[in-house]
Chains A and B, each alone.
Chain A
Amino acid sequence: MRRTVKIAVTGTLMLALAAGVALADSAAWTRAGKEAGRQVAERGLRLEMPGRAEKQQAASSIDPATNRVEKRAGTAAAEAQTGTFAAKLALDGLNDTLTFRYVKSGDQINVLPSPDLGYELLALPDGRVLVEVAASIYRLDPEKRTLSVFLKGQTGTTRKTAVSGGSAKMAVWGQRASLSPDGTRLLYWTTRNITATRNEDGENWIKDLRTGAEKKIYGAGYTVLGWDARNRFYLDLGDRGIVQVDSESGASAKLVPGFSVSAVSGSHLLAQTTDGSLNVRNLSTGKQQAFRGGGLNHLRSIAASDAGPWFALVNAPDRSSRVSTLILLNAETLKSHAFEEPAGSSIIGVSWQDKQTLLVQTRNRTTAGESTYVIDIAKEVGR
């Protein structure tokens, strides 16, 4: 009997080791701070994102006769009073009034990302904000509450276009803006040359924020993974891999040949193309290492901090199971720490507030309640 138990325990332990579970720490969640709802950080500001509960409240607030949603599922500042202001968009033939949410920090007005209001935002170093709306990018001055033209040639007439020999097509003058780390260059995606190229895949353009000059820098538009310290940006081309593009010269290099689960920090690129292994590339030296072990199997997602060496990996020990583990990986040392999911909950996503603070969004599988754990990396990895 004792031997049977021993075999069973050993077997369980081996299975657990194989799955990486035995390496995982479950106590981190009790040490971490815990906030209700889904929180993320943007420019150091903690934001409450609309989660399941807020969306359900919005759905149940609908007036069935008018079909109007009375309670909005929107973004709010987690630790400050959220205000709103309106600005008129009377450009390019548009005549809209846009509402913006903001928080005030001293004299600074920080406009909050608010996808539910129908546009995307990007903050500029000078305190102004770029607003992506109506297939183009406009500049918002939060102090004056005015919107102005930002991209060259951005007029209602030039934006209209047609493909010769075919039917008229819409053109995107600018979208998906991303700022270089030094704040001098803005990357954006456009289909403005659709008439000439007859291709709707679009192009990546750079705007020099010092001179205002704009030029095409790379071909078809894909997800921007991030930038490194040398003002090179990284595009995820899906099945065509990951490319590194110099935002000054346009010189490009393919770093990953095919699809990968990937993320870029200021210093490293992580890309998984094979279960059980993770390629770690130092973006300064080009040196590559393979990370294995630590419970790593199939990655569901990776989150990179802007500057820090730490990455957060949402790992599936068994890719057919709902169970995930969280792996913290130092890309310089390849030191890792694994955490089981909080008891009774599933990890929804991860993001970094800063290089020291990780936010982990979770959902309770019984109540469907969502929470955000705030993990101090120094405390956890120093243990």
Chain B
Amino acid sequence: MKLDRGKKKSGAQNRIGRKIGLTAGLLLVLGAAASASAADYGARFLQQYGVKASVAPAMTPARSDADGLFERYSPVESKTNQPRNVVSGTNPHNGADLAMASGDRVYAVLPGKVTEVKHDTSAQLGSVIIDHDTDGDGAPDGVYMQYVHIDPAGSGASGIRVGDYVTETTVIGTVDRAKRYNPHLHIQQVSRGRSGAADIQTMPMYLFYRHTSLETWNAGSDLDYVSADWQDGNMLYLTAYAGTDNPQTNQYDRNRPAEIQLHYKIGSSGKWKMSATKFSLYDANTLRYRIDLKKATGAVKGQKVYVYAAAIRASDPTFPNSAAYRHGLWPQFYKQPDRVLYAASSAKADAASRAFTIE
């Protein structure tokens, strides 16, 4: 399998791609994994493809014992790329929120080297970025994870600092007290080791937690609004649902989308439109959806179709009275003006889409 990260790959990204590809290739059967590139059109999100791929089997950042060896699967309050009805805050959500207690210890999910520490009392509070060692050889692999809304572990000479090597039983900080938000850990995979990097992008998280069960994080899909794309012939599969804290029922919900639309064009010079056919629910337990691209687009064998999907959120029980922002897209991206990317021009849709050849 080859993971192509798009048009603007840096040297570091190339190394990451090779490393991930090699690791995944060695560890997993990748015959079913897709290989494609994420379009970079100035967005802040970067798509990673492939249902079988696993970046690395990470531990959870929360643990239930003082030695840090028992994993705790915190409920997910909001997922990466999830649309939210918040007026302030990022839409779609720029990372995954894990329900944790104020003061809970936060552990590195894999070993690695600290690249950024922010002791910040602003709205985002403190944060740490770690360049993780994904293959266990003791060297960081350019796979970055950012841990946000935390008090980084200590300050000054004894506190955590850039350059520190940490293991997965090292406490890197504690969940900050409720200042602006309810206490929680915001965690995201990012493409750079510095949060101020101009080209930093957020990537899907589910590839770290493919091993998780339906009772915990649903093969990692609890962490990403749309995840686990897979193509089988003309059939495209996606997992899509919102994860949220529901104060009406006092439970953490997995909410099915109201619908998942397919937007497409046939051939590079075709005209963008929305298919009348929607993705259909294929597995209710895992919230797996699929669509027949041939039937949905009317394309014939050998034709190339360009597609993107829009998963329309049904409701937001956490923020029921705020602005209606309801769509999360696959391939994922950030701060899009509308789910119809081709309203004014086809450029964004062209750049965002993924191409398939009809069989």
Contact = CB atoms under 8 A, between A and B. Distances in A.
Dominant SS among interface residues on chain A: mixed
A5 B196 CA distance: 49
Contacts, number: 270
B170 A301 contact: yes
Interface residues of B, number: 86
Given A55-B211, A69-B211, A201-B177, A321 B165 contact: yes
Contacts of A206: none
Nearest to B134: A368
B243 interface: no
Contact of B67 (A159, A167, A320, A350): A350
B167 A176 contact: no
Nearest to A222: B103
Contacts of A56: 27-28, 54, 57, 211
Q: Which of B29, B102, B164, B319 has the most CB of A within 10 A?
A: B102
The 10 A-B residue pairs with the shortest CB-CB distance in the complex, in nearest-first order: A55-B57, A238-B174, A222-B103, A118-B215, A168-B247, A259-B154, A55-B211, A58-B211, A59-B210, A368-B136
Given A169-B182, A189-B101, A272-B158, A69 B135 contact: no
Nearest to B60: A115
A10 interface: no
A159 B249 CA distance: 9
Given A170-B250, A275-B157, A59 B167 contact: no
Interface residues of A, number: 94
A340 to B, nearest CB: 14
B27 A60 contact: yes
B250 A118 contact: no
Nearest to A158: B250
Contacts of A363: 136
A361 interface: yes
B169 A301 contact: yes
A307 interface: no
9 contacts: A115-B60, A116-B216, A117-B213, A201-B177, A221-B101, A260-B154, A274-B158, A298-B164, A300-B167
Interface stretch (A209-217, A223-231, A284-292): A223-231
Nearest to B24: A59
Contacts of B138: 322, 346, 365
A378 to B, nearest CB: 21
Given A222-B103, A316-B165, A62 B178 contact: no
A77 interface: no
Interface in A65-103: 65-69, 72-74, 93
Contact of B283 (A67, A134, A261): A67
B67 A349 contact: yes
A49 interface: yes
A38 B71 CA distance: 13
Contact of A64 (B113, B232, B246): B232
A354 interface: no
A74 B216 CA distance: 11
Contacts of B211: 50, 54-56, 58-59, 69, 73
Q: Which of B51, B111, B212, B250 has the most CB of A within 10 A?
A: B250
B105 A300 contact: no
Nearest to A234: B66
Contacts of A60: 27-29, 52, 54
A258 B104 CA distance: 15
Given A321-B165, A322-B165, A160 B52 contact: no
A301 B52 contact: no
B179 to A, nearest CB: 10
Given A236-B105, A275-B158, A366-B137, A67 B247 contact: no
Q: Which of B27, B136, B239 has the most CB of A within 10 A?
A: B136
B286 A200 contact: no
Nearest to B136: A368
Contact of A59 (B57, B60, B249, B286): B57
A347 interface: yes
B305 interface: no
Given A201-B177, A300-B169, A324-B167, 13 more contacts: A56-B211, A66-B282, A67-B237, A69-B212, A73-B212, A162-B247, A201-B102, A221-B102, A222-B103, A225-B66, A259-B159, A301-B170, A320-B164
Interface in A160-196: 160-162, 167-172, 175-176, 189
Given A223-B66, A349-B69, A239 B102 contact: no
B66 A314 contact: no
A337 interface: no
A23 to B, nearest CB: 21
A67 B166 contact: no
B81 interface: no
Contacts of A366: 137
A346 B167 contact: yes
A147 interface: no
Interface in B135-149: 135-139
A361 B168 CA distance: 11
Interface string A110-154: 000101111010000000000000110000000000000000000
B241 to A, nearest CB: 11
B102 A223 contact: no
Contact of A226 (B51, B66, B178): B66
Contact of B282 (A65, A159, A168): A65
Interface string A281-323: 0000000000000000010110110000000001010011110
B170 A300 contact: yes
Interface string B109-149: 00101000000000000000000010111110000000000
Contacts of B250: 135, 156, 159-161, 170-171
B337 to A, nearest CB: 27
A15 interface: no
A46 interface: no
B221 interface: yes
Nearest to A277: B158
Interface string B49-75: 001101001001000111111111100
